[in-house]
Amino acid sequence: MNSVKTYTLFTDHDVYLFKEGRHYKLYGKFGAHSVEKDGVKGVYFSVWAPYAKKVSVIGNFNNWNHQDHILFPRWDGSGIWEGFITGLTWGTLYKYAIETARGEILEKSDPYALSWEQNLQAASLVSTTWYEWSDEDWMEKRWRNNSLDAPISVYELHLGSWVRQGGAPDKYLNYRDIAEKLVPYAKEMGFTHVEFMPVMEYPYDPSWGYQITGFYAATSRFGSPQDLMFLIDQLHKNDIGVILDWVPSHFPGDANGLHRFDGSYLYEHEDPRKGFHPDWKSYIFNYGRNEVKSFLISNAMFWLERYHADGLRVDAVTSMLHLDYSRNEGEWEPNIEGGNVNLEAKAFLQEFNTAVYKEFGDSIITIAEESSDFPLLTKPVHDGGVGFGMKWMMGWMHDTLDYFKEAPENRKYHHHKITFASVYMYNENYMMPLSHDEVVHGKASLIYKMPGDEWQKFANLRALYVYMYTHPGAKLLFMGDEFAQTGEWNFTRSLDWHLLEYPIHKGIQSLIKDLNHLYRDESAFYENQFNKSGFEWVEADDLENSVYVYLRKGEKRDDVLMVVLNLTPQVLEYKIGVNAGTHWEVILNSDDNKYNGSGTDADILSEKHEEWMEHPKSITIKLPPLAGIILRLKKDKKYKLHRIKHKK
């Protein structure tokens, strides 16, 4: 006897929107929902399995029996199976037993489950995302903190290896324990946002979360959905935004996951040239299927709405947009226009961006991790763009790291790797990443990418950070880089926090803290970070000295900062052209003693009324070795020109 009763949360309009690919709140319909029918409490289940012969709910409540609780197929041809089971409560374990057209019985976890077990069986749990939020102040004003003309400095971290339990380093901390440590640290360091590598449920630790099975479930490695919400709530209450990594590009082939969900290629593309990823051995979503688009866009909405996320960093966008990504000739099929763009994926991303920005306005950010030069990625959809808020500036990251790896005496041959970014830096709204991908798989930590002895390595890294923080665009720094972690990132253990016992590492941390606060305090660094009026080269071609000089400008005429990089180990007396009536003061020197530098002062040695570098005046500055200095324009009109005594 079937113990399932008829019940539905779907209206005809819901089903219509789902089939059209325009239902963006499916998490309120699909999955397991605590409801009441005729005065009796229970759980309503619904799942999409259009090619199934039969679907039943199995779990610890019926001894995993396929015959006891069979769902009803809807009459409308939608492929939705649903039903109501009495007596179930929060914490009930369940799966769907799906009989395929060929008679197979597949045991699948719920694609819309809010929580999963953390074991090989990985059953779904009847759960809830109810939480009493207390971040109203943040939510009301976050549109200012997430806007393109606000300072955005992101701390990227992997929750499983940021810090572990002191007495049990093989044990994860709970989300709440992480909050106790992370919130004051990120606040003191001056980061405006944190970015979590995927917190959605995933089975395989070495994937770092990028091969997701439970797209709607916060990973139970670190606690309950409410524990993650507590972490986000605490960050918000301390004025720190939260960006989540989101992976709509692919999913693993785990038996209980989305792969061949009802015996057919339901979520993935049937053609392996479009549906299988050769590098990651995973399956690519079918972006041309409307129900799949509804699933994915609803998933984005879910994390933004239920978890109060301030943004989504969309992973592997390059692989989504290119049919020939990681494929040899003959292994891919051109689109209908004869090109290599996955037009269905592009349309999906346009729909995703349109939907989330319509729902949340400019209070959230979408960020593309995209390594090609795909055009108009951050331009509005109505102008032919893809609609992202920002894009990772991968070209800048690779060119910059390649340059800094060079010995100083060789840098003159690579000088324009630093200046090249200025050719295209306003083509898109860029975030400048020094991300996790650059400190794993034999690539070395940032500090060990730097050439020279220990002193030179740290001096180079400090200069790199000054360059990064003063370049136009938002910033992203991976955990551990803020104190010069020496080993490559290892997801199985905590960061090497003990390194902060050494002044040379503490100095790097102090510099990042000061750069973060300076970036936030000086409007010239962020007001025009995405338009051409915010940047000007003063000296871009001094190959022999490996010196770079540029200005950053705010909205006000006198809101100007000058950045000077000396990327050789020599102390230089350097002459720079400036405008009439302007005077400068040094506000940051990466070679300062407080950062464990050599302590060489960055003195302004003279100011003269003589034309230089096509400017009517000049100043001569003492440049410390392998250093970045930041100067601020003095605004005291009574300031008189004078020559500062030359220091030998």
With b for 16 or more beta-carbon neighbours within 10 A and e for fewer, the 419-431 pattern comes to eebbeebbebbbb
As a whole number of angstroms, the distance between CA 346 and CA 343 comes to: 5
CA distances from 427 to 125, 339, 376, 470 (A): 46, 22, 8, 18
Kindly write down the DSSP assignment for every residue of 576-641, as one continuous string: EEE-TT--EEEEEETTSGGGTS------EEEEESS-BTTBSEEEEEEEPTTEEEEEEE---TT---
What helix, strand, coil percent values describe the chain, rounded to 5? Answer: 30, 25, 45
Residue 313 contacts residue 369 (beta carbons within 8 Å): yes
The question of whether 536 is a catalytic residue gets the answer no
Kindly write down the DSSP assignment for every residue of 73-126, as one continuous string: EPTTSS-EEEEEEET--TT-EEEEEEE-TTS-EEEE--TT-SEE-SSSS--EE-
Residue of 99, 310, 315, 559 with catalytic role:
315
- β strands within 213-338, DSSP E: 214-218, 241-246, 250-251, 276-277, 282-284, 311-314
Structure tokens at 382: 């109505």
Helices and strands of the chain, counted as H and E runs: 13, 30
Cα 196-198-202 angle, rounded to 5 deg: 150
The question of whether 369 is a catalytic residue gets the answer yes
As a whole number of angstroms, the distance between CA 612 and CA 49 comes to: 73
As a whole number of angstroms, the distance between CA 382 and CA 321 comes to: 19
Residue 129 contacts residue 308 (beta carbons within 8 Å): no
> Which one-letter amino acid corresponds to residue 613?
M
> Which one-letter amino acid corresponds to residue 557?
R
Residue of 369, 428, 603, 607 with catalytic role:
369
Q: Which residues are catalytic?
A: 315, 369
